[in-house]
Structure 1
């Protein structure tokens, strides 16, 4: 049941009484009494959730959480776990790129419903950014990353932390909608609504906030309305730091500087300000952020102190330092909640968009992008690799004159394949199955945990490729395989290898019984979104993806009185 809060003036927002989360031995007022006491601004009651703080420490595995708590190296995460619930078997919904990983947390859906497979993907129904009349060929390589900001226009340098202050028109494709050719911004691209939109629609006086790694690519968090996030902080991790002349991903200690911008933003918002520190009037009902420091440390070559030392997730020097950093950052945010008297009315969810693979360095295999080469040489794509937005008619990188109708392939530790000609599916699958070994031209998918997904099984899990958005083929290589020869990173994410998908998840709910418990039941990160709505007193079914996929709230928060 969707029970709306009374809408009183903003100056009384801290008096808002949400619905009682915990079922405990103590006596509680009836729902009608809760409603009345909230309207009158009673501050004497506790254990009520008025705000949700969602934090993604990208790369955080369940094993990282367990190890750092056991070794006393993450005291703030440990305190949160002691006061809350730790889910020891939480997983991403099939793909682990940042887009589907975050979409799971805020829409309650997998790529099948949200339509987000990667920040760089393909859609057969779209027209090029330059085709404002939708009269040319269809099929566009959709790139919603650091190049989505105006700084990247005509391949320009990313000189501003805010991405230049606007969208790069060369990154925005077109679609014919109702016979009219319209631009498709990231918020138009996501297929389902978000928790931010639901909160805004049901609590009109409430504010929402988020901060992430790409200034304009993450516009999709606003949802199809385009207005879900009041304070969407525009920070670009690939922008050039004028103090160093490099972007913020060169080394984990530099990434800390970027993540500190987000810590400051959250503290400002807890103080009732905007992310920039301007007056706002109220604390957001839902706020959160993303951290990249741990992910950068995990990817760094083991020979340079990155990654892990063994199969038991023993952190190397960079990962150990990164875990200490994210833990201290969590401590700063929680301390501010306590300082402002909001800790007992704020649910805190610590998790990750994705893990990183392989943590066991002995499993690392970098044979190059054999998957793309095999499909290109077999004429399923242009044999010279002339596909996608980066391969332009002008010769200038990512200037909006990219090639249309070429199909596309995205590879990291997974392969997402949109064939140029979908009628070649059977032939392409046969080619892949005939070359499964790790010997060139093999694709290194010959182990028991590897698979090639296509046809009905793929459609059931991710949607029908005939609709234009879903890949025709998904190749999951052996765990440890990264389709690259780059010496800059020894780990990657995006696929469904065990280290990609098994994440840390710690949930603190004020006043919830059973503090310090562990839940070993397998859960998905899609269950976070309906849990957020449930604890705020809203019906999880207000999320489109929850209805489409039947997503349930996390165990422990699905049978309480609201």
Structure 2
């Protein structure tokens, strides 16, 4: 690893000297992890009950369905996926959002000069196409990192680039599998070509075949000025089809590009179609849900049908190649989407950021992070040491002056009403975390990475006035964090069961290692957070 945050990994690893191998309960030779982003538990129950997802239902018949699975506190794509592949929450992984803030980092391309504190952006602009705010014209993001997206850190007096794989603070299942299973191969495909480099883990080498696919790239088949793959869910299907083909290639003994390669020991992918369909406005675009009972609107119904058909293709290929009986298949999601009940939707705009700016806790003109620079947005220019706020259906606040935290919280509480100027935290399911309550759940803000304040508004509140979406994710609202989770393997004892125990998606990672015969404590987050494997699979023994 390039050592930017390696010290955290070493410190966690020293807690145990784990034994690599564990008893292997079944003849599992491969693990396939699939994330249908946006998939709620209620979606699973409804589509299986209504026979609208027969392929998912078949997996449930040969496996275990967890009806009470939840994300660990935040539900953005980064912490959501990190939970699945590290066994840890943001407290140990250090991943809070794909756009976040770190007080210890320096602005890119400045050789560690100037003030510390940088708005870290590891989204679609992390690829080379994003250089100088350029158009995202290549599916592979331009073929390399955008140097303007890579901040620096002083490590032992040396200015060192902090790539996404350096930014994550703990190791991943991909690294563990490669290190402890002879001749193992790992693979993954996701929505951003370069921002998801953190899946490699601190070694930078965890994923042998990390497909470089960028959902925000412009589709050359669309008419000028061209659109990316997120404009409508059927267009997103075309992007997800790339991932289906990648998985089929890998099952067939090829890599993501079609070149000959061993079938991965651990592989998987992410689908965005359902997420796009859920976000689409209900009244004008047919998106979202029709009622509080998760009755899907036409877009969501179409998306679920597409995802199930894709799943069917993958399972069929596993069977054709005689790999089905030796492959553990896990279907879940990084996050849900909120609100599914449109009567709860509140879009007053970003009243949280407006309040922070009005009180000068952040610059009154919005000049913080990369929000203000002399060139295009996300071109590596911007103000350092300014603090930052990230809002969706949650608010993550990194203050410019951390000593103001108590004063800021008092201001937030004084404006908790849900009016056109309030921050909508006046309901029983809303809360404002700061001080010890943040440190206990998410880590100490004094160390530079954790937000000083986390604002969870009333369920249904989205800090936007955008007419392009009626749902969002990122926070801890019920529709955000209650996910579908099915673990399937032919030969499991008592298949077809439903487990109603409260479980976290962090339990997927130790389950994967246990299934492959490895000790879950080889994962640093599992060790630090005492994460157990999922119950009732026959593989949940803890060391």
TM-score for the superposition, normalised by structure 2? 0.95
Which residue in 1 is equivalent to 2:466?
486
SS of residue in 2 equivalent to 1:410: strand
| 8 Å CA contact 1:4, 1:203 repeated in 2 | no
User: In 2, Cα distance between the equivalents of 1:180 and 1:3?
Assistant: 34
Which residue in 1 is equivalent to 2:8?
none
Q: Structure 1, residues 407-451: CA drift from partner, whole Å, max 9, x if none?
A: 000000000000000011011001000000012321011000000
Q: Please, what is the CA RMSD of the aligned residues? A: 1.3
User: In 2, Cα distance between the equivalents of 1:177 and 1:526?
Assistant: 30
SS of residue in 2 equivalent to 1:481: coil
Q: How far did residue 4 of structure 1 move?
A: 5.0
| 8 Å CA contact 1:83, 1:516 repeated in 2 | yes
Which residue in 1 is equivalent to 2:312?
331
Q: Structure 1, residues 70-101: CA drift from partner, whole Å, max 9, x if none?
A: 00000000000011000000000000000000
2:202 is equivalent to residue 224 of structure 1: yes
Out of 158, 163, 169, the position equivalent to 1:185 is: 163
User: In 2, Cα distance between the equivalents of 1:74 and 1:156?
Assistant: 40
Out of 266, 272, 287, the position equivalent to 1:286 is: 266
User: In 2, Cα distance between the equivalents of 1:406 and 1:100?
Assistant: 24
Q: Structure 1, residues 131-159: CA drift from partner, whole Å, max 9, x if none?
A: 21x23100000000000000010010000
Structure 1 portions without partners, runs of 5+: 6-18, 22-46
User: In 1, Cα distance between the equivalents of 2:420 and 2:279?
Assistant: 25
SS of residue in 2 equivalent to 1:530: helix
Which residue in 2 is equivalent to 1:122?
101
User: In 2, Cα distance between the equivalents of 1:163 and 1:188?
Assistant: 20
Q: Structure 1, residues 277-321: CA drift from partner, whole Å, max 9, x if none?
A: 1111x1101000000000000000001210000000000000000
2:240 is equivalent to residue 262 of structure 1: no
1:127-138 correspondence runs (5 A): 127-132=106-111, 134-138=112-116
1:467-506 correspondence runs (5 A): 467-506=447-486
Q: 1:340 to 1:260 in 2, by over 3 A?
A: same
Out of 430, 448, 463, the position equivalent to 1:450 is: 430
2:252 is equivalent to residue 274 of structure 1: no
Out of 72, 75, 83, the position equivalent to 2:62 is: 83
| 8 Å CA contact 1:127, 1:174 repeated in 2 | yes
Q: How far did residue 510 of structure 1 move?
A: 3.1
Q: Structure 1, residues 504-528: CA drift from partner, whole Å, max 9, x if none?
A: 0000123110100000000000000
| 8 Å CA contact 2:21, 2:519 repeated in 1 | no
SS of residue in 1 equivalent to 2:101: strand
Which residue in 1 is equivalent to 2:332?
351
Q: How far did residue 560 of structure 1 move?
A: 6.1
Q: How far did residue 395 of structure 1 move?
A: 3.1
2:86 is equivalent to residue 103 of structure 1: no
Which residue in 2 is equivalent to 1:31?
none
SS of residue in 2 equivalent to 1:213: coil
Q: Structure 1, residues 313-340: CA drift from partner, whole Å, max 9, x if none?
A: 0000000000000000000000000000
Q: How far did residue 178 of structure 1 move?
A: 1.3
Which residue in 2 is equivalent to 1:161?
139
User: In 2, Cα distance between the equivalents of 1:131 and 1:539?
Assistant: 42
2:285 is equivalent to residue 307 of structure 1: no
User: In 1, Cα distance between the equivalents of 2:462 and 2:371?
Assistant: 21
| 8 Å CA contact 2:532, 2:540 repeated in 1 | no
Q: Structure 1, residues 535-559: CA drift from partner, whole Å, max 9, x if none?
A: 0000000000000100000002445
| 8 Å CA contact 1:122, 1:418 repeated in 2 | yes
User: In 2, Cα distance between the equivalents of 1:211 and 1:121?
Assistant: 23
Q: 1:137 to 1:272 in 2, by over 3 A?
A: same
| Regions of 4+ moved over 6 Å | none
User: In 2, Cα distance between the equivalents of 1:85 and 1:506?
Assistant: 6
1:196-207 correspondence runs (5 A): 196-207=174-185
Q: How far did residue 111 of structure 1 move?
A: 0.2
2:349 is equivalent to residue 368 of structure 1: yes
SS of residue in 2 equivalent to 1:287: strand
SS of residue in 2 equivalent to 1:492: coil
Q: Which has more radius of gyration? A: 1
